[in-house]
Amino acid sequence: MKLFITGSSGFVGKNLVSFYKGHDIHSYTRGQNLVEELEKFQPEVIINSAAEIYDSEKMYASNIQIVYDCLEYVKKTKIRMIQIGSSSEYGTMNRASKETDRINPIDVYQATKGAATLLCQGYARKYKLDVLIARPYSIYGPGEKPHRLFPMLYKSFIRNQQMNLKQGYHDFIYIDDFLRGIDILINHQNPKHGDIVNFGSGIQYSNFEICDFFEEIVGHSASINKINDIAESHENDVWVCDTTHAEEKYGFKVKYDIKSGIQKFIKIGID
């Protein structure tokens, strides 16, 4: 299978490249001409994992323009495309979010990711294209950015580094489970045009609970200052996935519960 993977230098992109290492892969990164690279490589599937999370001035180019260019190529060639969206598109909710909920962005990142989803759905439904949107919840695993929760806890528990830990609530999904979900979408025989699929465990944990799991698994405490303030201004005390559609339509369930995921994360390490 010929796979064109954007965002291949990021956490999800690198893991996608590794997951599909036996296939013919073009790893697209910023600086290349996307349209030219697509025409040259002629993929069978596009997986768009490119995204700008932090710099709002770069979000249009990374989160919308790339999607548009990919969709134009898909319209012409009729190949399959998997758009990796974000659970943050739903905004804050007081219950588990499901695919039929409207988007409710409160910042530029959420807005641009939501706009990309709508663009994908519009193209897919208008031109009958095999474009699917995967909305992951909080993915964790090897290759995460150093400032993220799990690498920080690893450094604290395994390398004895001090850290401050603010509160937060997430539905965590191990990277291997998410990659398996993407593979299910790529190989599904009868997808709905522009279908959105949530990928999460259906269970949320607080940052403090994750810290406690680390302590239980490694068997000792760490120098961690727990702060009751919520870690990010856009976060809520409910952030969890409704897994019904993924289970019933695609047969997807996570294989890693939170403890087994943390155990594998610790075993592999962060370097």
Question: Any bridge partners for residue 206, and if so which?
Answer: 169
Note the pLDDT tens digit of each residue in 54-73: 999 999 999 999 999 999 99
pLDDT over threshold 80, residue 183: yes
- The answer to whether the CB of 143 falls within 8 A of the CB of 129 is no
Read off the tokens for 146. Answer: 């150093």
Please report which confidence band the pLDDT of residue 234 belongs to, taking 50, 70 and 90 as the band edges: low
Nearest to 121 by CA among 143, 147, 103, 142: 103
pLDDT over threshold 70, residue 233: no
- The pLDDT value recorded for residue 231 is 58
- The pLDDT value recorded for residue 242 is 98
- The answer to whether the CB of 226 falls within 8 A of the CB of 208 is yes
pLDDT over threshold 80, residue 245: yes
SS3 193: coil
CB atoms within 10 A of CB 189: 4
pLDDT over threshold 60, residue 169: yes
Note the pLDDT tens digit of each residue in 106-152: 999 999 999 999 999 999 999 999 999 999 999 999 999 999 999 99
Note the pLDDT tens digit of each residue in 26-45: 999 888 999 999 999 999 99
- The pLDDT value recorded for residue 190 is 86
Query: Please, what is the average pLDDT of the chain?
Result: 95
Cα–Cα distance, 250 to 150 (Å, whole number): 29
- The pLDDT value recorded for residue 191 is 87
Note the pLDDT tens digit of each residue in 186-199: 999 988 999 999 99
241-256 exposure pattern, b = at least 16 Cβ within 10 A, e = fewer: bbbebbeebbebebeb
pLDDT (average), residues 235-262: 95
* pTM listed for this prediction: 0.95
Distance, C-alpha 15 to centroid of its chain: 11
CATH number corresponding to 2-140+173-201+240-254: 3.40.50.720
Nearest to 256 by CA among 187, 196, 176: 176
Note the pLDDT tens digit of each residue in 152-168: 999 999 999 999 999 99
3-state helix, strand, coil in the chain (%, to 5): 45, 20, 35
Note the pLDDT tens digit of each residue in 1-33: 999 999 999 999 999 999 999 999 999 988 899
Element (H, E) at 25: strand 24-28
SS3 90: helix
- The answer to whether the CB of 61 falls within 8 A of the CB of 78 is no
Nearest to 265 by CA among 154, 139, 145, 138: 154
Q: Is the dihedral of CA 203, 254, 121, 12 positive or negative?
A: positive
